[in-house]
Amino acid sequence: MPLYEHVFISRQDLSNAQAEGLIEHFTSVLSDNGGKLVESEYWGVKTMAYKINKNRKGHYAFLRTEAPAEAVQEMERLMRLHDDVMRVLTIKVEGHDEGPSVQMQKRDERDGRRERRN
């Protein structure tokens, strides 16, 4: 089955629980259509380079999936129709990288620097 990586941005006025609930919702859509979630990461609220729908910030989420093209198309269609999702990016990849994504690695490095200061 093809491998994909998805990043989507949801509105900033959602709570963290609601933003993580969107990950679960779209994961269930994917699994209902024959795909499976390999890994998901919630990156938190980040400032965007430019406004999208009058928002300066957004909740970022990252999904690694293994799914047929039809399942991915259905998930993307529902993401684009969902009022809380502002942007979606899906990339087909040859293989998934082991370990956390670059965004999560940056967060770990920042946490390590804070500990040294104390």
- Return d(Cα 43, Cα 28) in angstroms, integer: 20
Q: Is the pTM for the entire model greater than 0.85?
A: no
Report the pLDDT value the prediction gives residue 116, as an integer from 0 to 100: 53
Report the pLDDT value the prediction gives residue 109, as an integer from 0 to 100: 62
Beta bridge partners of 41: 62
pLDDT averaged over consecutive 10-residue blocks of the chain (118 residues)? Answer: 91 91 92 90 90 91 92 92 93 79 68 56
Report the pLDDT value the prediction gives residue 111, as an integer from 0 to 100: 61
- Return d(Cα 41, Cα 92) in angstroms, integer: 18
First to last CA, the chain: 48
